Amino acid sequence: MINRSKLGAVAVMALLTLSACSTVSKVGSLNPFHGRDKEKGKASAAARTNRIPVIALNDQLKVADALKGQDFFLPAPAPQADWPVAGGTLEQSIENVEAAPAFQVAWKRSIGLASSRSHHITAPPIAVGGTLFVMDGGSTVSAHDARTGAQLWRQNIMPKSKRDHEAFGGGVSYADGKIYASSGFKEVVQLDAKSGAIGWRTRTEAPLHSAPTVADGRVFVVDVNDEMLAFDAASGLQLWTYQALTEPARILAASSPAVANDTVVTSFASGELVALRAANGIELWNASLSRASRTNALSEIRDIAGRPVIYKTDVFAVSHADYFAAVDLRTGSVRWTLPVSATTTPWAAGDVVYVVDQTGQVLCVSRDSGQLYWIRDLNEGLKKKKRAYWSSPLLAGNRLITLSTHGVAMALNPKTGATMATLHLGSEALLGPIAVGGMIYAVTEGGQLVAIR
């Protein structure tokens, strides 16, 4: 198996066929997490040799002269009682959470099957009412006590049919006493949050690699064929669909929709950022986060794998095709752009928005102008093979926290980018952490739920 820390910028990339097969056996040779035979290994090495480094695309990034050393507003840390969807709120946006002042590991608990050649943990944890909900690499959903990590219940949502017994991907969301889980087995499943009992399960046409978002009695999720699906949360009946442009190349990770009032904003592997009417799926606007001039294989992947973030009157999103943008929520007009390639989710708070790019650079960007306050390269001084992939950031306790494929949690000063603390998790981490109930929680590639106090 290839060491994920050596994959750097392409750590979560999988070039899937347009048919978006659900079984690992069908896509395994295209997934960089998998081992390869000698001939495929030679081909892979040649491909890496011919790639143009992503960092070369970002040579326009520099701190604005007018902002050097300037202060900016950040809201004070505030308690966060629940984290019911992948991004914490329906807008996929939380400012500054009061959590983990000691920044020390409190406990670690196994959640089940770890990421491996044929299994992948893609589901960020969620938390409601003192209970954490997670999904392991084998599509088993489990509930854990948030104080101790003790397992409360466990439910495998793999369908009884053996036809798709090796699928991967998916995630979980909570609403009104129910857990809604999506999976690579082409299903959306409703479970009781107290017992794990299955309420309903609905078949989809294509695998689901992202966590659903549940709002106002509707379940929204995107499949690997770039189709947005809406289901009735009570019955599982499909309400409407929206088909984006299909794309032959995509990222293994996938995005979850953001919702504000009756508008749902979602992203696709085509590089499209789309706003839809939540009630009926009617398109309100469509913005393309992809540059016209793409001159190498990496930039041909347009996928917006990170979640779109609705903050104030803007939507912030970043694509793999070197495009980070602030888009007006009402009109879809692009206010500013930066040449940033990433598969992570931006974090907006106060006057700024943070993003972690594919090379391990953390950027602090003026939310208003798109100019940079500071840049911090977390892989600075490391040889290419030693560089880590860094997760989506979290602002908690006035520290900007990101996790790495070196198994490190790093806390940065959000005003300067300077290192405040580091913490060893014991296993590689690709998914961004969450903060709730005064704690920070992370799920590692080793199949562990880690609590940081």
Q: Is 408 exposed, middle or buried (0-12, 13-18, 19+ CB in 10 A)?
A: middle
The pLDDT value recorded for residue 52 is 33
> Would you say residue 88 has pLDDT above 80?
yes
The pLDDT value recorded for residue 251 is 78
The pLDDT value recorded for residue 164 is 59
To which residue do tokens 């081992």 refer? 35
The pLDDT value recorded for residue 298 is 52
30-44, 81-95, 163-177: segment of lowest average pLDDT: 30-44
Over residues 320-346, the pLDDT tens digits come to 999 999 999 999 999 999 999 999 999
The CA distance from 392 to 356, in Å, is 6
The residue-averaged pLDDT of 276-291 equals 95
Nearest to residue 203, comparing CAs of 189, 217, 221, 193?
A: 189
Q: Are 407 and 3 in contact (CB under 8 A)?
A: no
Dihedral over Cα of 129, 132, 138, 140: its sign: negative
Identity at 433, one-letter amino acid code? P
Strand partners for 337: 325
Q: Domains of the chain, with CATH numbers? A: 4-452 (2.130.10.10)
The pLDDT value recorded for residue 250 is 74
Identity at 22, one-letter amino acid code? S
Mean per-residue pLDDT of the chain: 87
Task: Report how far apart, in Å, the C-alpha atoms of 357 and of each of 10, 158, 236, 400, 425 are.
Answer: 11, 34, 37, 15, 21
The CA distance from 374 to 354, in Å, is 10
Q: Are 341 and 320 in contact (CB under 8 A)?
A: yes
The CA distance from 51 to 214, in Å, is 40
Over residues 371-383, the pLDDT tens digits come to 999 999 999 999 9
> Would you say residue 33 has pLDDT above 80?
no
Q: Are 301 and 320 in contact (CB under 8 A)?
A: yes
The residue-averaged pLDDT of 50-79 equals 76
Question: Which residues contact residue 417 at a Cβ distance below 8 angstroms, ignoring those fewer than 6 apart?
Answer: 362, 364, 374, 375, 376, 400
pLDDT confidence bin for 163, thresholds 50/70/90: low
Higher pLDDT, 253 or 236: 236
Retrieve residue 381's tokens: 């001084």
Over residues 1-20, the pLDDT tens digits come to 334 433 333 334 444 333 33
The CA distance from 143 to 446, in Å, is 18
pLDDT confidence bin for 434, thresholds 50/70/90: very high
Over residues 107-153, the pLDDT tens digits come to 999 999 999 988 899 999 999 999 999 999 999 999 999 999 999 99
The pLDDT value recorded for residue 16 is 39
> Would you say residue 27 has pLDDT above 70?
no
The pLDDT value recorded for residue 290 is 81
Over residues 170-187, the pLDDT tens digits come to 999 999 999 999 999 999
